[in-house]
Amino acid sequence: SSSLEQQTSCDDTGAAIVSSNRVVLSEAIHLQQHLHEPHGGIVPTLALESHAAQLPGVVRAALQQANLAATDLDAIAVTRGPGIHACLSVGMNAAKTLAAALNKPLIGVNHMVVEGHALMARMTTTKEGEAAFPFLCLLVSGGHTLLLVVHDVNHYTQLGTTLDDAVGEAYDKVARLLGIAWLPGRGGGAGAALEQLARTGDASRFSLPIPMRHASRAASMDFSFAGLKTAVARMVPALAEQEDDRWRADMAAAFEHTVIAHLTDKLRRAFRWTQQHSIPITSLVVSGGVASNEAIRAELGRLAGEHHVPLVCPPAKLCTDNGIMIAWAGMERLQRGFIDDYSIDIRTRWPLEALYQEWEKHIA
Ligand code: ATP
Ligand code: FE
């Protein structure tokens, strides 16, 4: 069985077809980076115009690549939220119309955690048992930083979240403070550029505060990145006066080093929590755009090893937003009977609790 997806939550237009035995039959994507980079961030009206113009061609390309007719599909999955209202609408209206015309099930997918980014790891892993439920999941993206125990689709325990900025957001802001140009192409952007620069830097030159180490917050499994960004911002003006440009790479390295120390602190606590609650986690799953970072992967791989579970991350290019992850999440939902009405709405904000409530209703 195969399911087609459309992903238009924010800045790239994607469609993909996957089969229930984890084969990606096709993927088409239209990138918008070139539209947004001059503005230093996503411009909703430009994103909307581009989605509206590109989506039909992207869907057509996905079908052609897979050599399938629309009638061959078993279901149509679509990003329902969270995201930019106008952008989500383009995808939702297209998906509803397709599904209704073809008389196929429609599946609204949450772009995030227990669905999009996190389930992706279940599709891409090849080893038996890896990313099988339950698993410990760190979701690190442009808008989210979440630490969860995932028991099943939509069934999870949230251990921690960010109290302020998301990790990816911190990478983007610090890249801007350091005046780093975005890396072009798929998997590019500000975060990837910062990672590349950090590789050439000396992390020990600057000492940045590791967040949440104070006794009053150390026991929590929440994250905080705003203070770290502010610490960088305070140091930049004096450094920018220097002739020598090396400080940028050194600061990038110090920032990344501190981020990793913070993530590791909280993950150690999460591992301990699963032990205390006797939850037999199979893996540490790390996904979302920041999970494409090799330094982060290496360190978290070591940490997982210490706790005798594998680290499972999707391939780097599938960590950032893509159509395949929505198609796969649609497949996982389809297999569990989570099917939506053709009248469903989009959800620009979609709190995790709502997913959990849906799960409770479904099993009742
Ligand atoms: P969300 O999924 O929370 O709605 P999003 O879809 O914008 O947010 P993703 O596409 O999952 O986020 O990830 C993009 C984020 O990942 C950006 O903030 C980007 O800077 C960051 N990122 C991408 N590659 C790297 C990298 N190599 N190192 C660090 N951060 C990275
Ligand atoms: Fe995303």
Q: What is the number of the ligand 1 atom nearest to the C-alpha of 112?
A: 2
- Tell me which DSSP letter residue 230 carries: H
Q: Identify the residue whose tokens are 């939902």.
A: 333
Ligand showing the shortest atom-to-Cα distance for residue 319: 1
Ligand showing the shortest atom-to-Cα distance for residue 166: 1
Most informative mutation of 10, 13, 141, 162 for ligand 1 (most atoms within 8 A of CB): 141
pLDDT computed for residue 9 by the predictor: 57
Identity of the residue numbered 120: M
pLDDT computed for residue 258 by the predictor: 98
Sign of torsion over alpha carbons 123, 127, 133, 139: negative
Chain Cα centroid distance, residue 352: 14
- Ligand 2 (single-atom ion) residues, CB below 5 Å: 141, 321
pLDDT computed for residue 11 by the predictor: 67
pLDDT computed for residue 299 by the predictor: 98
Q: Which residues pair with 30 in a beta bridge?
A: 13
- Tell me which DSSP letter residue 183 carries: B
Give the confidence band of 3 by pLDDT, cuts at 50, 70, 90.
Answer: low
What ipTM was predicted for this assembly? 0.98
For the stretch 28-47, pLDDT in tens is: 988 877 777 777 777 788 88
Q: Identify the residue whose tokens are 């497949």.
A: 331
* Whether the predicted pLDDT of 359 surpasses 80: no
Rounded Cα gap, residues 78 and 87, in angstroms: 12
pLDDT computed for residue 114 by the predictor: 59
- Stretch 281-290: mean pLDDT: 95
pLDDT computed for residue 127 by the predictor: 87
Rounded Cα gap, residues 33 and 11, in angstroms: 8
pTM of the model: 0.87
Ligand 1 near 144 CB (within 6 A): yes
- Stretch 279-297: mean pLDDT: 96
Ligand 1 near 165 CB (within 6 A): no
Ligand 1 near 195 CB (within 6 A): yes
- Tell me which DSSP letter residue 209 carries: P
Rounded Cα gap, residues 309 and 293, in angstroms: 20
Identity of the residue numbered 33: Q
Going from the Cα of 87 to the center of ligand 2, the distance in angstroms, rounded, reads 14
Highest average pLDDT, of 113-122, 184-193, 330-339, comes from 330-339
Rounded Cα gap, residues 170 and 190, in angstroms: 10
Ligand showing the shortest atom-to-Cα distance for residue 146: 1
Query: What six digits make up the tokens of 216?
Result: 């009053």
Nearest CA to ligand 1 atom 8: 142
- Stretch 253-264: mean pLDDT: 98
pLDDT computed for residue 357 by the predictor: 81
Q: At what angle do helices 226-240 and 246-276 cross, to 10 degrees?
A: 170
Going from the Cα of 235 to the center of ligand 2, the distance in angstroms, rounded, reads 30
CB 267 within 8 A of CB 303: yes
* Whether the predicted pLDDT of 358 surpasses 90: no
- Per DSSP, helices labelled H in the chain are 33-36, 44-66, 85-102, 116-124, 167-177, 190-198, 215-218, 226-240, 246-276, 294-306, 323-335, 352-363
Distance separating the N- and C-terminal Cα atoms of the chain: 27
Most informative mutation of 321, 322, 326 for ligand 1 (most atoms within 8 A of CB): 321
pLDDT computed for residue 7 by the predictor: 63
